[in-house]
């Protein structure tokens, strides 16, 4: 691999980094900022990602809400533009290293091979991952697909790039979520509150509550649909020193699968620290995954309710009665009965809640 150009790596900071830091410090939410920008939340995302430049209009909004003079923000943008251009110029000497090794969402249409088009492709990758060099990309993302805790079936190894794109999109969305500092103790204290959310039937009602509860413990909960080739249902990752992320895909769009994934990912955060985990139906079982599974099961069916749970049969009234007294959705009880082979997977599915993508997408904004 050719040299990256050490001088470029010494400084590479998007204006969005400063925007995020000041939003957190001043308690300004993405909705607060979106309400003042003509482009709304899409403009906020663009500013954070670096795809939208700070201009004469947005610098006034940033100055008013976040501090700093308008000229400060314009200068911040100019400095970044110059640093980015230097990084692109260096990388363009060996563009294939970026185009082959660093995955990127495809743009519609046919890609040109002109030098300017190649430079633009390199620029897109630098902006998307917020890195100026391949060395910095490798340090933050290159090891994700080979890390011990990046769990997936061997048959899905060629699709690692799709999972990485999903993870990165989750990180970008997590930037929009204000949180307290990451605290495993505070997350554990809130488990019962989270558990009670399973009784709420609609994503538009329980997702905001789930985000708010987890944010108090320093966890950004984000929902991102998986791209083609990614079969993940959930993931955890420490996105900064003070913020953890739970990334959810709603892959099965059923309450038993969704909430088991939520508790499984919480289990990874509480039991396994800051490691990155990606979980799917094809995830091989090992000690760490088994620990997260056991944690999720105990969150759903507490140990003191196990004897009563084990006596349940495929009887609607008995299952509903147990679920009400246990404080969970009947769908979760059914899911656990099926998983533990107490009933067939074809039985009692009418007690599960299922959601349309329209309901999920609306609640995810």
318-359 pLDDT, tens digit each: 999 999 999 999 999 999 999 999 999 999 999 999 999 888
**Whether pLDDT at 45 is above 50:** yes
Strand partners, 247: 222, 235
Please give the residue that has the higher pLDDT: either 162 or 150. 162
Higher pLDDT, 13 or 327: 327
For residue 169, the SS3 value is helix
Backbone angles phi, psi at 251, to 5 degrees: -55, -40
DSSP bridge partners of 234: 248, 279
CB burial class (10 A; 0-12, 13-18, 19+) of residue 149? middle
CATH architecture of 6-142: Orthogonal Bundle (1.10)
- Report the C-alpha gap between 35 and 23 in whole angstroms: 14
pLDDT at 7: 42
Token pair belonging to 147: 């890390």
- The structure tokens listed for 80 are 């970044």
pLDDT of residue 61: 97
**Site of tokens 């980094």:** 17
Q: Which of 71, 26, 65 is nearest to 44 (CA)?
A: 65
The mean per-residue pLDDT over the stretch 93-122 comes to 85
What is the structure's pLDDT at 150?
53
Are 224 and 170 a contacting pair, CB within 8 Å? Answer: yes
**148 — pLDDT class (breaks 50, 70, 90):** very low
In the three-class reduction of DSSP (H, G, I as helix; E, B as strand; rest coil), residue 243 is classed as strand
- What confidence score (pLDDT) does residue 361 get? 81
The per-residue pLDDT for 157 is 38
> Measured between alpha carbons, how far is 238 from 184 in angstroms, rounded to an integer?
12
- pLDDT beyond 60 at 101: yes
User: Residue 221: in which H helix or E strand, if any?
Assistant: strand 219-223
Give the per-residue pLDDT at 151: 46
pLDDT tens digits, one per residue of 277-287? 888 776 667 88
* pLDDT bucket at 152, cuts 50 / 70 / 90: very low
DSSP three-state, residue 116? helix
Sequence spans of domains, the chain: 6-142, 158-364
pLDDT per residue as tens digits for the range 218-277: 999 999 999 888 889 999 999 988 999 999 999 889 999 999 999 999 999 999 987 788
Nearest Cα to 150, choosing from 139, 140, 163? 163
Each residue of 238-255: pLDDT tens digit? 998 899 999 999 988 999
Max CA separation in the chain (angstroms) = 70
Q: Give dist(CA 19, CA 73) in Å, integer.
A: 10
Q: Is the pLDDT of residue 362 over 80?
A: no
What pLDDT is stored for residue 161 in this prediction? Answer: 84
Q: Name, in order, each residue with C-beta under 8 angstroms of 134's C-beta and a sequence gap of 6 or more.
A: 1, 4, 91, 97, 98, 101, 102
Instruction: Please provide the average confidence, as pLDDT, over all residues in the chain.
Output: 88
pTM, two decimal places: 0.87
pLDDT value at 302 more than 80: yes
What was the pLDDT predicted at 159?
46
**Which pLDDT band holds residue 145 (cuts at 50, 70, 90)?**
low
Q: Are 176 and 140 in contact (CB under 8 A)?
A: no
What pLDDT does 53 receive?
Answer: 95
Predicted local confidence at residue 8, as pLDDT: 40
């Amino acid at each position: 691999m050719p040299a990256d150009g050490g001088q470029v790596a010494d400084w590479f900071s998007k204006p969005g980094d400063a925007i995020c830091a000041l939003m957190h410090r001043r308690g300004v939410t993405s909705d607060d900022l979106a309400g003042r920008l003509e482009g709304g939340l899409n403009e906020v995302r663009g500013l954070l990602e670096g795809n939208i430049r700070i201009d004469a209009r947005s610098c006034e909004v940033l100055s008013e809400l976040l501090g700093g003079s308008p000229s400060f923000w314009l200068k911040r943008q100019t400095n970044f533009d110059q640093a980015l251009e230097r990084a692109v110029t260096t990388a363009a000497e060996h563009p294939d290293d970026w185009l082959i090794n660093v995955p990127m969402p495809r743009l519609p249409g046919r890609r040109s091979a002109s030098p300017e088009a190649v430079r633009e492709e390199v620029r897109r990758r630098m902006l998307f991952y917020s890195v100026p060099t391949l060395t910095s990309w490798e340090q933050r993302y290159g090891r994700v697909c080979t890390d011990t805790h990046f769990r997936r079936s061997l048959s899905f190894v060629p699709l690692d790039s799709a999972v990485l794109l999903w993870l990165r999109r989750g990180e970008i969305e997590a930037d929009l979520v204000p949180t307290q500092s990451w605290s495993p103790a505070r997350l554990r204290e809130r488990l019962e509150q989270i558990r009670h959310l399973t009784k709420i039937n609609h994503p538009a009602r329980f997702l905001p509550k789930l985000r708010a509860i987890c944010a108090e413990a320093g966890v950004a909960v984000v929902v991102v649909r998986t791209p083609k080739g990614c079969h993940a249902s959930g993931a955890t990752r420490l996105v900064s020193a003070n913020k953890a992320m739970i990334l959810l895909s709603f892959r099965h769009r059923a309450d038993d699968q969704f909430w088991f994934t939520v508790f499984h990912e919480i289990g990874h955060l509480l039991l396994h620290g800051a490691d990155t985990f990606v979980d799917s139906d094809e995830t091989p079982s090992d000690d760490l995954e088994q620990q997260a599974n056991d944690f999720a099961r105990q969150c759903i069916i507490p140990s003191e309710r196990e004897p009563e749970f084990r006596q349940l049969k495929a009887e609607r009234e008995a299952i509903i009665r147990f679920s009400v007294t246990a404080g969970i959705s009947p769908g979760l009880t059914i899911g656990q009965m099926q998983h533990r082979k107490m009933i067939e997977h074809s039985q009692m599915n009418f007690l599960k809640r299922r959601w349309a993508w329209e309901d999920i997408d609306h609640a995810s904004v």
